[in-house]
Amino acid sequence: MNDKVNIKEQLELLKRLQAVDSEMYDLTAEKETFPARISEIAALLETKKTGMEEADKVLKDLQVEQKERENDLQSCEEKIKKHESELAQIKTNKEYKAMLEQIESLKADISLLEEKIIVVLDKIEEAKRKFAAEKDAFDEERKRSDAEKSAIEEEKKKVEARLKELADLRSQFMGPVDPAILKRYEKILENKGKTALSAISGEFCSECNMRLRPQVINEARLNYNIVICENCQRILYPEE
């Protein structure tokens, strides 16, 4: 190491730089969660929408069934009227009796259809209640979803603004650092992610918690050269 480089001073500069890098690391990690959070909100809303649409389909299918039953009922009633008007024109008792049987059969069909219509109407009322509940749940979820997405967007803007501030600050802090030391620091940071420096806590590296050899601790305290943890490869500095 160049004798002109003040290692203690360089370590102080690196600690200041690491504080910025550490915050940038956390904020970048937070920013990366935003798309997943928004997707999760959208998925939950879609689930509520599906529930509402399924309830709506059940209701509409029942209403179609009601209409079909009512059409069948009307058809039977019209047939009865037609057959009753034809009775006066029948010549033989056999034909007359057969027509009466048809009329009675149609009346039986009408009774059955009326029962089925009552059942369908009950189902329709229940389906209407179900649809209303599902719609309320969807509307409520949509409001919550919109509010949460707005909050995330605001959070995202703040994070991005802070990251820009930190990027500018980082550029300033990098300036006074010795280029060779800075290159070494950034290489370690690239490999480790959040921290390239580690304080010596007693006899241990505070980042990896491995016991340091006395010689390594002494070298770090002398501030004569950059000292590396033999386990995690971070730059060591003595705690104040």
The three-state DSSP-derived secondary structure of 144-207 is HHHHHHHHHHHHHHHHHHHHHHHHHHHHHHHCCCCHHHHHHHHHHHHHHCCCCEEEEECCEECC
pLDDT at 4 over 90: no
Q: What is the mean pLDDT of residues 75-92?
A: 92
User: CA angle, corner 144, sides to 138 and 148, nearest 5?
Assistant: 140
| 5 assigned to some structural domain | no
Determine the pLDDT at residue 3.
54
Domain count along the chain = 1
pLDDT at 1: 47
> What pLDDT shows up at residue 217?
96
State the residue range of the domain holding 97: 27-171
pLDDT value of position 91: 86
Identify the CATH number of the domain in which residue 140 sits.
1.10.287.1490
pLDDT mean across residues, the chain: 95
Interval 127-182: pLDDT, tens? 999 999 999 999 999 999 999 999 999 999 999 999 999 999 999 999 999 999 99
In a domain, 148, yes or no: yes
If you average pLDDT over residues 193-198, what whole number do you get?
Answer: 95
Q: Within a domain: residue 213? A: no
Looking at residue 137, what is its pLDDT?
97
DSSP state of 88: T
The mean pLDDT of 108-134, rounded to a whole number, is 97
Residue 185 falls inside a structural domain: no
**Interatomic CA distance for residues 203 and 42, integer angstroms:** 51
Does residue 102 form part of some domain?
A: yes
Give the mean pLDDT of 176-199: 96
> Token pair for residue 209?
């918690």
Residue 166 included in any domain: yes
Mean pLDDT of 47-76: 97
Rounded to two decimals, the pTM is 0.75
Query: Could you report the per-residue pLDDT of 196-231, keeping only the tens digit for each?
Result: 999 999 999 999 999 999 999 999 999 999 999 999
Specify if 139 maps to a domain: yes
> Does 10 map to a domain?
no
